[in-house]
Amino acid sequence: MFTSEAIIDAVQNGKKTFVNTFVTNEAVKEAMVNFVDTQSEYTKKAVKVGQDTAAVLTSEMVKSMQQATKFDYSKFGEGIMKAYQTTQKPAKGA
């Protein structure tokens, strides 16, 4: 299976191959290859941060769901019913 870094490397290597093949001026070629390398480094870091963020969000979502399943809905319902019943009692002197 392809990892994100392998895909990024494949695309960036294709760009460098294109530059090395079609750019004849050595100064321009060096600048463009340097740009592609910098772009590759940035993209790998951005993907890594995105993956780490997604992992943390997923982990926290799972924890929240586990906490929600621990909630005692029957006790919650009893509390709501008690609160409702106390609001339905007639006022004294009415």
Count of domains in the chain?
Answer: 1
What is the span of the domain harbouring residue 57?
Answer: 4-88
Residue 93 placed within a domain: no
Whole-number pLDDT of residue 70: 81
Whole-number pLDDT of residue 91: 59
Residue 53 placed within a domain: yes
Residue 94 placed within a domain: no
Q: Which of 1-5, 35-39, 41-45 has the lowest mean pLDDT?
A: 1-5
Residue 75 placed within a domain: yes
User: Can you spell out the DSSP letters for the chain?
Assistant: ---HHHHHHHHHHHHHHHHHHH---HHHHHHHHHHHHHHHHHHHHHHHHHHHHHHHHHHHHHHHHHHHHHS-HHHHHHHHHHHHHHHHSPPTT-
Residue 15 placed within a domain: yes
User: What integer best gives the mean pLDDT of the chain?
Assistant: 90
Residue 60 placed within a domain: yes
For the stretch 19-41, pLDDT in tens is: 999 999 999 999 999 999 999 99
